Structure formats: C-alpha cells, structure tokens
Amino acid sequence: MSRPRARRRLLPFVLATALVAVAATAGVAAAVPGPGDEEAAGLREVMFVGNNWDGTADVIESSGSFEKLGRINVIPDKQERLDEIYADPVKLLFFLGIRNGPGEGHDQFVDDMYSTPDGTAMVVSRPSFADVVSIDVATGKINWRFPVSGHRSDHMAVSPDGKRVAVSASTSNTVHVLDIGTGKEAGSFKAGDKPHENVFTDGGKYLWNMSIGEVNTAADDPWLDWTKGDRKITVVDAATFKEAKVIDMRDRLDAFGRKDLSDAVRPVAFTPDESTLYFQVSFFNGFLEYDVAADKITRVKTLPKNPDTSEDRTTWVNDSRHHGMSMSPDGDKLCVAGTMDDYATVVDRDTLQEGPLVDASKPYWATVSGDGKSCVISESGSDQVTAIDFATGEKTASVPVGDHPQRVRIAHVPDDWTSPAARR
C-alpha cells in the first residue's frame, strides 16, 4: 500500500460544466437461475466485466481460476452513434462533458451489464451514448436500443425474476424500468439529483434508487456541500412506480452525530434478510450501517487511509474515496474497495474489524463470485480483476481484462458459447 502513484486530476468541463454533472460508480447482482437450473437450461454461469473506456465486456469464469472466456464488443454501432452526436450541438456538448469529467479524458462506453434469463443477450448501459442496448452474445448484433431521457445512462439493476431492468438516467433525474426482452419501457419515476445505484428488494416488490448529486464539480470543500444538490434514497413500488418512501440520510447522519459526512450514498450492500443496509458516502474512507426498520444509522466504520493518497478532495474521481461494496452470501463478511487508497479489504460484519489490506490499483467495484467464496474487485488502474477470499482476506487470483474495468456482474451464457470475434 506504500507505492506512490500519480493521481489524475479531473479535466475541466469547459463549456459543459453548467450543463452536465454525472456519476460513475455501484449495485447488487441480479437474480439468476440456481446452479441446478442453469445446467438444465443449458446455461453456463460466468462474470461480465465492463471495460468502460474500451467499449467491451470480457466474459470470465465466475469462480475458481476466473479464466477469460471471450470478449463482446458493446459498441458495434459506434460510428452511427457518433454521427448522431456530432450532428447535434447539445448532444455533442454533453458527450464531451462526459469525456472530460467522469471519463477522465475518455469516453464512457459501458457502465453496467446483465444477462437475459435465457443467456442469449447482454443488456448494457452506455453512458456516453445515453442509452441501453441488448446485444446478442452469439452474433454481437444489437437486438434493441433504448435512449434514456437526458444525456447519460448509468447504473442498472435486474428484477429477481430477471424480466425487467432498471437504469438511472443521470442528467434527467429519472429511473427507467424496461422489459429486458424487448426494451420497451414498463414505467419510470423521478429520483434525486443524479440517480445512481438501483436495488430491488422484498422479492422485487420495491426498487431503491440512491442519488449522489453533483459529483463532477470542483466545489468539494465541506462548506460547499450545499451545492451538491438533492441527494436522497427514493423507494418505489416496483409494480406501480409510485413513491413508497424517501430516506434523506442528511437527517440520519446528523442524528448519529456525523454532520461532517456527505449524504451522497454510493455503493450499498444489504444483509441477506434486507434488515440492514451498509453504504458508502462521498469523500469518506469507510462505510455506515443503517437499520432499515428502525430508520436510523447504527454504526460507522472508518478504514485506513493510504499515506500516498492526496488529501486534495478535488483529485478524487467523482467525489469517491472508497467505491465498491459486496457481502458474503452468509452475511458475515463485507468486502470494501478502497478506490483512491489503492486497496481492498474484507471486514467482519459483527466486529467491523478489517482484514489484510490487499494492494489494488484504483479498485472501482466489488461483487461476489459464483461459488460465494470470493469477493471480486475491478482494478481500473491496472486493467485486471482480482479475487479475494472471504475467509482469509487474502488475494487468490488476478486476471487481465480490458481498458478501465468497472462493473462486474454474475451472468449466464449458453453452455457452448464462444465470443462473436472467435466465430469470424
């Protein structure tokens, strides 16, 4: 953890600063067929790794060696989309704003992705193209495309039955819910400023959205927190899309005695019974525990700082300090990605004691392996994914992937799948 690493400062927004401030981040894995079901259906469990700057998704083994199985191009229509963007001054302004803001000088071609229940398609949100597409995993061709409202798409979530996908439209403060097979909109709802992570709960009855506010401005001093916008958790009925509850963490943080912490909720992890929510917030090297029924914050965990990490908050990507959380299937361990501190660690949920700090280069996400034994993080700074054993807290494997991996999701493909490129 002691190695120095030059920090990339966020590039200025130029003319787009006043028009676009968007997020890049976190979610939970979609419900998928059980181990017996996928064999019966002729499916193979894998992991999708979204290479944000590449515009590709690597397909890797979901456990064990995490061997790379193939790659899918998620922007086969790139030239068509670029032609549209360059013909529209407003779209171009936002496109360049995304590149020079959350993209750190790169276009953001893939944020989130899931497989369809039958494993024949990958559904992908593409921030720079402000859309969601379904891509046939055998041919690489686009099945359907849904342009989101506004000018950027972000985090997604799939309903437990696998039939619907929710996507955050960052610049319109909207969450769209789509039929995963057809791309037709089933409904939508308004959230806070810059909706971010989405999570289905209660067997798919409710949908939670966490809005993170304006994370791309340089107004990062604590006294300027009021400029960050309306940040809240919006809970809706997933059938009617009517608001069921709004949770303002500002009030809960103040009551807990942490007025110093941001109320921008980043990646989250629910306990298996959904009674407790663990969540990260902007600028904080740690996480908080929230009792859902009691509606209050119960504990906070501060994790170690890397002494080589600059304390200049404007150098932290999209207001992150730590970004990425997952929980072991038994609910006993949390895995935390210490993004700007260049490590990941497994935390005992009972004692909140962290384990070994595993060196990692700008880890951006954390999920759970298919066998439930490992936490899998994306190392966006070194273009690899790394597995950490939940039991020991030690690294067990690292696998090279594409340029700037972010989201990692459990998925399914046909048993005999090979990547479209390998078929040519």
Between the alpha carbon of residue 208 and those of residues 214, 248, 276, 365, the distances in Å are 19, 13, 14, 19
pLDDT at residue 9 above 70? no
C-alpha to C-alpha distances, 332 to 24, 207, 284, 371, nearest whole angstrom: 28, 24, 23, 16
Q: Classify residue 8: in a domain, yes or no.
A: no
How would DSSP label each residue in 201-254? EGGGTEEEEEE----SSS--SGGGGGGG----EEEEETTT--EEEEE-HHHHHH
Contact (CB, 8 A) for 390 and 333: yes
DSSP helix/strand/coil, 418:
coil
5 in a domain, yes or no? no
Return the structure tokens found at 201: 């709960």
Give me the amino acid identity at 180: I
pLDDT level of residue 98 (50, 70, 90 thresholds): very high
Assigned domain for 7 exists: no
Quote the pLDDT of residue 28: 38
Asked if residue 288 belongs to a domain, the reply is yes
CATH number at residue 370: 2.130.10.10
Q: How many structural domains compose the chain?
A: 1
Confidence of residue 5 (pLDDT cuts 50, 70, 90): very low
Of 200, 162, 166, 199, give the one whose Cα is nearest residue 181.
162
Q: How far is CA 386 from CA 86, 287, 298, in A?
A: 38, 21, 31
Q: Are 358 and 386 in contact (CB under 8 A)?
A: yes
pLDDT at 411: 97
Q: Return the pLDDT at 421.
A: 72
- How far apart are the C-alpha atoms of 312 and 321, rounded to whole Å? 11
pLDDT confidence band for 423 (50 / 70 / 90)? low
Supply the mean pLDDT for the chain: 90
Which two structure tokens, joined as six digits, stand for 381?
């700074």
- Report which DSSP code applies to 354: B
* Domain membership flag for residue 93: yes
Domain that holds residue 39: 22-423
Tens of pLDDT, residue by residue over 30-48, are: 344 443 444 446 999 999 9
- In a domain, residue 3? The reply is no
Residue 264 lies in a domain: yes
Percentage of the chain surpassing pLDDT 70?
Answer: 90
pLDDT of 176 over the 60 cut: yes
Could you give the 3-state DSSP secondary structure of residue 88?
coil
Q: Is residue 355 part of a domain?
A: yes
**Exposed / middle / buried, residue 293 (Cβ in 10 Å: 0-12, 13-18, 19+):** exposed
**Cα 88 from Cα 292, distance rounded (Å):** 45
pLDDT of residue 84: 97
Residue 1 has pLDDT above 50, yes or no: no
